[in-house]
Structures are given as structure tokens and as C-alpha cells.
């Protein structure tokens, strides 16, 4: 029998694709979309611009952006039968499960006889998915509490329209801008679990709705997109923001070898560059709306963790401050991960389009650990 191949748990460090979508240098804390630093994109570009960049490879001209934004706005509404599907789901269900279900059925409602091999069909699917995910999330937010969904507006930007659909109130400029920046920062992050899931599904030539539904399922896990929910729950278990209390809490967790959510990353060995920007957004919100005790606890925990484990390359990741920002914007905790999906769908689709340019179905190997060449014993003779 040939020599067993090396087994790498979680495929850590194993290249799974050639890509020009996203560049990460974890040692330097560098994150770039299509070669542009995420910090610059967050400062100077809207989510619509960044989505155009991810999908088509270049930042749009003003005319291209206007046309693209108009396309997105036209596709925001949902067919009423998709709303009917959401109304049949249990009110206690998690929003990520509702989002997965809605996106999965979109493939039936928007098939229109086309095929994934057609570039025009792929492009239309991408436009629809980016446009409709916020509508699904906002619709479920209202349906589960007994309210009717609010129709999207075409005169608002992507982020502002999402906030509007939640409660029917147009957000102020600061809230809309902060949500827009948060969407930009979460839009893409190379070959993470959900992106890999999307590419694997796309490689079978399943339609883009199925590929994105599978990615949403992957994102839902607490080790991936669901981490920002858990971070807030964790911070609330710390008694107060005093250095002594936070230090004792952190030392106890580390002594028990329990994971402290929001710290550490498979890629970054320094503080996640997105965490710094999100922390700045939180401060901007607090200046207008008042601070929150949980932020003070978070800042002190970051300080104590730097002293305790900073030398190991363990620092805050994107999830550490994002939940604090979303909570201050008025979002329900269990909507944090769906907002992540609203953003990351742009990156998933960029990878899907790239995968299909020169597609080959994923078919990894395995390391066999069982017993081979066994003989079946008749049932009457078994032990």
C-alpha cells in the first residue's frame, strides 16, 4: 500500500484556489480587496462601490456606480411567495436559519430557465442576491414579532435602506455611514470557511442561490460568523470594568483553557485591522448616543489580554467590537450574523464568479484510519 499522505487538520495553510479577490498578510495585519487596502475602501468608498470592485475587479466610474446602484435598488423587493415561506417558519427560529431557507428557495423563484454556464445569468443572480439579502433579514425581523415587512426604498443607499426596513424609520447620516463601513469591512476575507463552502458548492455547477445558501449555513457557526453574538454574551459575564475584576476573569478562563471569544485568528498574528476601525466606529456612536458599560469592559479586556497572551500573537479580531457597534445601532443580537451575511455575500459571489471562470470540481482526498479487507460474517454467526 502506498505511503499515507500528510494529514493537515482543517486544511490549515493548504492552498485551495488561485485567487485575485483578496490578499491577507496576517503577520503585518494587511487586508486588501483586489489590491486595495480595506482601510482605504472603508474610508473613501460605499458598500456599493466595494461590491462592484469585488464582483468585477475594478472600482466603478461614477456612471458605472450609478447604473450598478440602480440595478441593486430595482432588485430589492421579494416575491410575495418568498415572504409566505418566511411566514410559515417558527417564530423562535434563528434568523440565520430563516435566511438560509429564503435564499435556498430563491433558486426556484428566479430560475427563469437559465443556467449557471451563462455569464449573464450568473451576473443577474449576483445582483439579486446582494440586493435581496437585506430585505430577507429585515422581513424576518418583523415577521417573527407579528409585524408586516416594510417595502424597500429605491432612493436610499444599501446600508440606509436596510436600517429603514427594520423599523420604518430613515436612519440619520451617522448611523447609515457606520452601517455602510461595517458592511465594507465584512465584505470579503479570502478563503474562510463560508467562502470555501461557496466555492465547493459552485464547483458542482449548482446555481448561485444554492451556493450562497450553503455559505450562509457555514457562516452561522459560532467559530465563524456567529462569534460576534457570543462575544457580547461573554462580555456580560464579566462583573465590572475594573482592572482587577477583568484580570481575574481572564486568568480564570485561560487557566481552564477555555476559548475567549473575539481574540485570536487563524490568519492574523496582530490585531485584526478591521477591529481598529470598528472600535473607532463604536466611539463615534458613543459620542452621539452615549457610551455603554460593555464597551468599557471590552477595552479593559483587550488591555489585560495583551498583557497575558499578546506575546503569543493573540489579539482582538473583527468579532470583538462589531457586536458592540451593532447593538448601539439598535440591532437584535441574533441579527448580528445575518448582517455579516448581508455584507459577505459580495465576497462569496466574487469567489463564485472566479471559480466558474476555470472550474474544476473540488474532490480532496482523505487519510484512511479504519481496518481494511474485512470479511462479512452472516448475521446468525455474529457475536
Grid coordinates belonging to 17: 484556489
Selection from 83, 176, 92 nearest residue 137 by Cα: 83
Q: How far apart are alpha carbons 102 and 149 in whole angstroms?
A: 14
Q: Which residues of 193-232 are buried (b: 16+ CB within 10 A; e: fewer)?
A: bbbbbbbbbbbeebbbbbbbbbbbbbbbeeebbbbbbbbb
Cell representation of residue 383: 457475536
* Beta bridge partner(s), residue 22: 33
CB 215 within 8 A of CB 192: no
Q: How far is CA 359 from CA 13, 99, 124, 353, in A?
A: 22, 27, 19, 10
The span from the CA of 372 to the CA of 30, in Å, is 47
Active site residues: 265, 319
The C-alpha R_g of the chain, in whole angstroms, comes to 22
The alpha carbon of residue 352 and the mean position of all alpha carbons in its chain are separated, in whole angstroms, by 15
The closest alpha carbon to 298, from 343, 344, 259, 241, belongs to: 241
Distance CA 298, CA 315 (A): 12
Q: How many CB atoms lie within 10 A of CB 70?
A: 11
Distance CA 24, CA 103 (A): 29
C-alpha cell at 133: 439579502
- Name the 3-class secondary structure at 380: helix
Amino acid at each position: 500500500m502506498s505511503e499515507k499522505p500528510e494529514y493537515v487538520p482543517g486544511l490549515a495553510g493548504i492552498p485551495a484556489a488561485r485567487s485575485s479577490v483578496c490578499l491577507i498578510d496576517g503577520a503585518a495585519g494587511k487586508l486588501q480587496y483586489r489590491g486595495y487596502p480595506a482601510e482605504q475602501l472603508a474610508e473613501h468608498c460605499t458598500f456599493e462601490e466595494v461590491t462592484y470592485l469585488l464582483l468585477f475587479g475594478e472600482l466603478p466610474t461614477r456612471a458605472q456606480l450609478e447604473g450598478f446602484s440602480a440595478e441593486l435598488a430595482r432588485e430589492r423587493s421579494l416575491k410575495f411567495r418568498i415572504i409566505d415561506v418566511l411566514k410559515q417558519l417558527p417564530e423562535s427560529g434563528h434568523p440565520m436559519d430563516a435566511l438560509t431557507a429564503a435564499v435556498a428557495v430563491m433558486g426556484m423563484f428566479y430560475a427563469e430557465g437559465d443556467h449557471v454556464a451563462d455569464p449573464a445569468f450568473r451576473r443577474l443572480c449576483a445582483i439579486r442576491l446582494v440586493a435581496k439579502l437585506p430585505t430577507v433579514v429585515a422581513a424576518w425581523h418583523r415577521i417573527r414579532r407579528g409585524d408586516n415587512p416594510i417595502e424597500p426604498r429605491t432612493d436610499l443607499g444599501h446600508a440606509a435602506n436596510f436600517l429603514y426596513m427594520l423599523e420604518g424609520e430613515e436612519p440619520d447620516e451617522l448611523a447609515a455611514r457606520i452601517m455602510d463601513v461595517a458592511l465594507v469591512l465584512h465584505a470579503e476575507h479570502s478563503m474562510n470557511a463560508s467562502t470555501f463552502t461557496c466555492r465547493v458548492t459552485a464547483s458542482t455547477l449548482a446555481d448561485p442561490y444554492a451556493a450562497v445558501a450553503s455559505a450562509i449555513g457555514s457562516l452561522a457557526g459560532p467559530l465563524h460568523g456567529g462569534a460576534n453574538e457570543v462575544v457580547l454574551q461573554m462580555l456580560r459575564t464579566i462583573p465590572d470594568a475594573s482592572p482587577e475584576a477583568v484580570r481575574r476573569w481572564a486568568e480564570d478562563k485561560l487557566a481552564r483553557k477555555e476559548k475567549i471569544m473575539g481574540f485570536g485568528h487563524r490568519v492574523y498574528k496582530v490585531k485584526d485591522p478591521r477591529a481598529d476601525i470598528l472600535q473607532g466606529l463604536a466611539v463615534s456612536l458613543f459620542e452621539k448616543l452615549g457610551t455603554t458599560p460593555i464597551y468599557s469592559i471590552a477595552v479593559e479586556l483587550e488591555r489585560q489580554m495583551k498583557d497575558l497572551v499578546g506575546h503569543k500573537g493573540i489579539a482582538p479580531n473583527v468579532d470583538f467590537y462589531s457586536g458592540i457597534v451593532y447593538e448601539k445601532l439598535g440591532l437584535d443580537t441574533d441579527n448580528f450574523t445575518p448582517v455579516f451575511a448581508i455584507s459577505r455575500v459580495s465576497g462569496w459571489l466574487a469567489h463564485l464568479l472566479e471559480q466558474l471562470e476555470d472550474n474544476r470540481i473540488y474532490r480532496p482526498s482523505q487519510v484512511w484510519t479504519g481496518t481494511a479487507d474485512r470479511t462479512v460474517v452472516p448475521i446468525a454467526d455474529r457475536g
